[in-house]
Amino acid sequence: MIQKDISRLFLNKRFLVAVLLLISVVSFAQEKNEEISNNEAKQSREVQRDTLHYKYGLRLGFDLSGPIQAAFGSDNLLLKATVDARIYKNYFLAGEFGGEKNVYKSENLNYSTAGYFVTIGGDYNILGYTLGRNDVLAFGIRYGISRFEQTVDEYKIQNGYWNDDAFISNISTQIGYAHWANFRLSLKVEVLTNFYLGTSVGANFLFYDTSLDNFDNLYIPGFGKNRNNVSWVFHYTVMYLIPFN
């Protein structure tokens, strides 16, 4: 009798252990399935975030600053195109190219310069991702280069004692080059689907240029008005994004 009770108890323990093991295996499998499902959902959300919310494409623009100045009767002319493309989330490859003509006239100096320029660099969107919006507030860096022609039509050197024009001369057209670095803060707002309005403010720092004989470069196409190798620039741009996704 005692042996039967012991055998029965032993069998019950074995049955209980088997049930506990089965429950453990089922629980582990459920947890594993939930973990896999959560990882797949997370990856799906990340892919959806990148492909659906981050717009990838080529954004082409035109600078409105030059035409606005010309409309108000300025002798200066600026034609500039802009381009940028998102390469990864908040990182953009960006650049500009164009032509510019500047005329300076004063009592003692008539000076003109005209040429072409190109800049290339990148932007980082410090605004980051905003739900349902594709606006960009970016810090950017550019390397710029310009080739231009300069002419001094007339300059006068005053006689300090008699206050008469002691010398009047000119300098024929010469070709110059300039290289600079640009740092900027820009804002691009999507006003309609894929249409953007933008503005930027920045500083140019000149580190190389060739100048006329006995004359510093007063104005450099693409760089702007030269004040001790530094210039401040403001621009207004209209842009269209050609989407890739």
Instruction: Map 168-228 to HEC letters.
Output: EEEEEEEEEEEEEEEEEEEEEEEEECCEEEEEEEEEEEEEEECCCCCCCCCEECCCEECEC
pLDDT digits (tens, 9 = 90+) for 54-86: 889 999 999 998 888 888 877 788 999 999 999
Would you give the DSSP letter of residue 72?
A: T
Which pTM was predicted? 0.73
Q: Give the per-residue pLDDT at 10.
A: 46
Q: Give the per-residue pLDDT at 185.
A: 97
Q: Which is nearest to 89 in space by CA: 59, 120, 134, 45?
A: 134
Would you give the DSSP letter of residue 50?
A: I
Q: Which amino acid is at 76?
A: N
pLDDT digits (tens, 9 = 90+) for 145-183: 999 998 877 666 666 555 555 555 666 678 899 999 999
Cα–Cα distance, 158 to 182 (Å, whole number): 37
Label residue 38 by pLDDT band (50, 70, 90). Answer: low
**Residue 120: is its pLDDT beyond 80?**
yes
**Which residues, in sequence order, are CB contacts of 239 under 8 Å at separation 6+?**
59, 60, 61, 62, 82, 188, 195, 196, 197, 198
For the chain, helix, strand, coil in percent to 5 are: 25, 55, 20
**DSSP E strands: which ranges in 89-135?**
91-105, 109-125
Q: Which two tokens stand for residue 185?
A: 């803060």
Q: Which amino acid is at 216?
A: D
Q: Which two tokens stand for residue 194?
A: 């894929």
Cα–Cα distance, 115 to 120 (Å, whole number): 17
**Residue 229: is its pLDDT beyond 90?**
yes
What residue has token string 């919310």? 53
Q: Which is nearest to 201 in space by CA: 241, 239, 231?
A: 231
What rounded mean pLDDT belongs to the chain?
A: 81
Q: Which of 38-47, 123-132, 231-240 has the highest mean predicted lDDT (pLDDT)?
A: 231-240
pLDDT digits (tens, 9 = 90+) for 89-104: 899 999 999 999 988 7
